[in-house]
Amino acid sequence: MTARVLDGKQLAQTMRVEIAAAVAARTAAGKRPPGLAVVLIGDNKASAAYVRNKQKGCAEVGMGSWLHHLPVHTSESHLLALLDTLNTDPAVHGILVQLPLPPQIREDAVIHAVGPRKDVDAFHPENVGLLAAGFPRFVPCTPHGVVHLLRRNDVPLAGREVVVVGRSNIVGKPLALLMMQKATTANPAGCDATVTVAHTRTPDLAAVCRRADVLVAAVGRAGLITPDMVKSGAAVVDVGTNPGAAGKLVGDVDPAVAGVAGALSPVPGGVGPMTITMLLANTLRAAELLDG
């Protein structure tokens, strides 16, 4: 078998056209264009590249974007003061502080300091709680991108065995919630699946993964998922972005899995472009909720 490609690049493009149309309709109605403020601290190359793609995405759909690039030795109090200003700026609908942060700044303090109505990452405990309760204000970007990538490629989810490998606050945990949740009007990203969460302490990870009709790898270990861990015909989503040889990006899934899986998302060009598109969707939603 050669797996069907779950093409995130193409789907992201289609969805950006939809978002751009909604943005254009708002501006034609005299409303402010949705605006995203991105805060980047230091000179981490990978973070700088992600931030550039986020800004490019904003420009593509007609949204405003502002980059606040602060030096690596910025104090926590300086960053919190900037967030206070952004929280009250009416042109800013979404705020994103790029992670990871330098060691003098507590991630926890920053997550609490982004106003929950502008928290397009959905990292604030208020938004985490709303998602866990089944009526999210914002659906976290990467998990939402995974759900759209599967849905729009007609991969069945309701009642299916989904195995999520990884339990991070950014991907594994919120994705497991969406996968297990009932699909409702308040939570259309709910998938009604049967969900197992596996991680580095799971014994016989291969046996657990082989149960999956849909296998999602979000660990951050290059090539962790090998063909023997995949049921024939399963859909496999690779969320990993690991540094490979010659500056190339490699996923958590061994490319040889394409010989066993029924569908596979590539790295790059799978989940990555979807994540940024969901950030744009959340910024549009923030504008709708804040400005009407």
Annotated binding-site ranges for NADP(+): 166-168, 241
Contacts with ligand GUN by CB under 6 A: the residue count is 8
210 touches 233 (CB < 8 A): no
What angle do the packed helices 8-28 and 45-60 form, to 10 degrees? Answer: 50
Chain residue whose CB lies nearest ligand GUN: 99
What whole-number distance in Å separates Cα of residue 214 and Cα of residue 195? 10
Nearer to ligand GUN, 99 or 180 (CB): 99
285 touches 138 (CB < 8 A): yes
Nearer to ligand GUN, 141 or 205 (CB): 141
Q: Which of residues 217-276 bind ligand GUN (CB under 6 A)?
A: none
| HEC string for the chain | CCCEECCHHHHHHHHHHHHHHHHHHHHHCCCCCCEEEEEEECCCHHHHHHHHHHHHHHHHCCCEEEEEEECCCCCHHHHHHHHHHHHHCCCCCEEEECCCCCCCCCHHHHHHHCCHHHECCCCCHHHHHHHHHCCCCCCCHHHHHHHHHHHCCCCCCCCCEEEEECCCCCCHHHHHHHHHCCCCCCCCCCCCCEEEEECCCCCCHHHHHHCCCEEEECCCCCCCECHHHCCCCCEEEECCCEECHHHCEECCECHHHHHCCCEECCCCCCHHHHHHHHHHHHHHHHHHHHHC
As annotated, the active-site residues are 54, 98, 121
Q: Which of residues 11-30 bind ligand GUN (CB under 6 A)?
A: none
Q: Closest approach of Cβ 98 to ligand GUN, in Å?
A: 5
The answer to the question of residue 98 lying near ligand GUN (CB under 6 A) is yes
Q: Closest approach of Cβ 188 to ligand GUN, in Å?
A: 21
**Stretch of residues binding ligand GUN (CB under 6 A), selected from 90-98, 111-119, 129-137, 209-217:** 90-98
**Stretch of residues binding ligand GUN (CB under 6 A), selected from 94-102, 129-137, 176-184, 256-264:** 94-102
Q: Closest approach of Cβ 24 to ligand GUN, in Å?
A: 26
**Stretch of residues binding ligand GUN (CB under 6 A), selected from 62-70, 97-105, 257-265, 281-289:** 97-105
Per CB under 6 A, the list member of 111, 170, 218, 230 interacting with ligand GUN is 170
Q: How far, in whole angstroms, is CA 70 from its chain's centroid? A: 24
Per CB under 6 A, the list member of 82, 96, 218, 274 interacting with ligand GUN is 96
Nearer to ligand GUN, 107 or 192 (CB): 107
Q: Closest approach of Cβ 30 to ligand GUN, in Å?
A: 31
Nearer to ligand GUN, 110 or 257 (CB): 110
85 touches 55 (CB < 8 A): no
Q: Which of residues 179-218 bind ligand GUN (CB under 6 A)?
A: none
Q: Closest approach of Cβ 241 to ligand GUN, in Å?
A: 9
Q: Which of residues 119-158 bind ligand GUN (CB under 6 A)?
A: 121, 141-142
Binding site residues, ligand GUN, CB under 6 A: 96-99, 121, 141-142, 170
